[in-house]
Amino acid sequence: MEITKICCIGAGYVGGPTMAVIAQKCPNIKVTVVDLNEQRIKDWNDPNTDNIPIYEPGLSEIVAEARGRNLFFSTEVEKAIDEAQVIFISVNTPTKTYGKGKGMAADLKYIELCARQIAKVAKQNKIVVEKSTLPVRTAEAIKSILDNTGNGVQFQILSNPEFLAEGTAVTDLLNPDRILIGGDTTTEGQEAINALVNVYANWVEKDKILTTNVWSSELSKLTANAFLAQRISSINAMSELCEKTGADVSEVAKAIGMDSRIGAKFLKASVGFGGSCFQKDILNLVYIAKSYGLNEVADYWEQVIIMNDHQKRRFSNKIVQTLYNTVADKKITFLGWAFKKDTNDTRESAAIYVADDLINEQAKISVYDPKVQRHKMLSDLDYLETRTKEENSNALTIFENPYESCKGAHAIAVLTEWDEFITYDWQKIYDSMRKPAFLFDGRNILNAKELEKIGFIYKGIGS
C-alpha cells in the first residue's frame, strides 16, 4: 500500500512539527493538519511563518517550504478524515482532574472523541496512528470504538509515539535515534506497519525504524520519559547533598557522566523538570502500576515526582531565606518562563510554581522571556487557582527588555537556560539593582565566580 494522503488531528506541539517534516521529506504525500481551534489554524497559515504558534528552531523554514505545496492546515476535520488513508491522532492527553484516577491517569476523552469522529466519517479502510502519548492498551479501546460504531470499514491501529525534546524537535525529527511503530501481528497489521515504515524510510535509515507489537510501543514511550525524569530527580537529590557537604554538583555530574554505563545526558542539576510529558507520563505509569496492584512499583516512580516538587519548593525557599526571610514587596526578576530553552512551551514549567510560592509571600515578580507572551504567563498562574486573576495580574509584570526587567530588583532568578542570558552585560544589570543584589541560578548557566566578582551574591543549585 502506497501512502499518498495523510491527515493529522491536532495542530499542537507534536502534530504540527511532525507533519511539517513528513511533508517536507515526502513531497508526493498530501499532508493535512486539522484542528477545531480556528485561531491556531489561522496562526499556522500566517503568511509570515515566523509567527506560527509553535517556536522551534528551524520549524518556520520547513513550514515555509512545504505549506501550500503538500502541507495544509485546516479546520475542516471531517473532509480531511474522509480523504486520508492514514490518520494520525495527536490531541492532548492531560492528567485527569476528575473522577477515578484523578491527578494520575491520562484523560482520554479527546482520544475517544477523535475515534468516534473517524468512525462516523470513514467510508473506506483507514490506518489510524496513535501519536499522542497514551497509556498502554489504549489502542484496544480505540479499535473497539472504530469496529463497533463505524460504517463497516476496516481499521488498523498503529502506535507511533514521538520521542521529541522541545527545543530540538526539528533535529529530532530529521535525525531520530529511532522510529517506533507498533501494530497487530496479523497480516493486515503487518501491512499497515510496512506502509508507515515506507513513509519514514524517505529520510530515516531502515535500521533505525523499530517495529513491535502495539502494547510494547505504547509502554516504551512512558518508560523512556520515566527513565529520563528519574535521572533529573536523582541528580537534583544529590544537588541538595552537595550544598550541605561542600561538594560541587556539576563536578559530581561530570565525574559520573564519564562512566559509559551512565552517560552524561540528563544529569544537569536544576530547579526541576517541566514540560508536557515527564510529570504526566510518570503519574500515568504510577496509576497503571496501582491498577495492577503493583504498589511498590508505583511508590518507586511516584518518588521521582515528589523529588521534583521538593526541588522547586526548595529553590523558592532558598530565595526567601537568603533575602532575610521576607520577600514582601520586594521585586524578584525571573529570567525565563518557558520550561526549557528554544521553546515557547510553559506546561509544568518550574517558573510557574516558584512564582506561585513567592507571590504567596507577597513578592512582586518581574519576568522577561524572549518567546513567552504575557497572556500565557498569567493563564499559567490562573490555572493553579491559588489567587484571583486580578491578584495574579497585579503581582506579575512582564517586560520586553531584560535590562528593564532587572532594574531596581532585589534579586534575579534564572528559570530557563536561554543562551542569550550568557551574553548580557551583567555589570550593567548589577549596577541597576538594589544592594545587596542576589542572583539565584536555577539552571546553572552563568559563571558564578565572574558574577561574584561583579558583586552579586550568587546562589546556584548545588552551590
Catalytic residue IDs: 162, 221, 277
Residue 397, beta-bridge partner list? 366
Residues in the chain, total: 463
Q: Give dist(CA 338, CA 352) in Å, integer.
A: 9
- Do residues 23 and 29 make contact, with C-beta atoms less than 8 angstroms apart? yes
- DSSP class of residue 329 equals T
Q: Give dist(CA 266, CA 234) in Å, integer.
A: 10
Grid cell, residue 324, equals 532575610
Backbone torsions φ then ψ of 6, nearest 5 degrees = -125, 140
- Do residues 451 and 439 make contact, with C-beta atoms less than 8 angstroms apart? yes
Alpha-carbon torsion 414, 420, 426, 429, what sign?
A: negative
Q: Provide the phi-psi class of 303: left if phi over 0, else alpha when psi is between -120 and 50, else beta.
A: alpha
The DSSP element (H or E) to which 226 belongs, if any, is: helix 214-245
β-sheet with 126-130: strand ranges across? 71-74, 30-34, 5-9, 86-89, 126-130, 155-159, 179-183, 209-213
The DSSP element (H or E) to which 173 belongs, if any, is: helix 169-174
Burial of 139 (0-12, 13-18, 19+ CB in 10 A): buried
Residue 5, beta-bridge partner list? 30
Q: Spell out where 66-208 has E strands.
A: 71-74, 86-89, 126-130, 155-159, 179-183
Residue 127, beta-bridge partner list? 86, 156
Q: Which residues of 52-85 are buried (b: 16+ CB within 10 A; e: fewer)?
A: bbbbbebbbebbbebbeebbbbbeebeebbeebb
- Do residues 63 and 19 make contact, with C-beta atoms less than 8 angstroms apart? no
- DSSP class of residue 95 equals B
Bridging pattern class, strands 5-9 and 209-213: unpaired
Grid cell, residue 2, equals 502506497
- Do residues 378 and 388 make contact, with C-beta atoms less than 8 angstroms apart? no
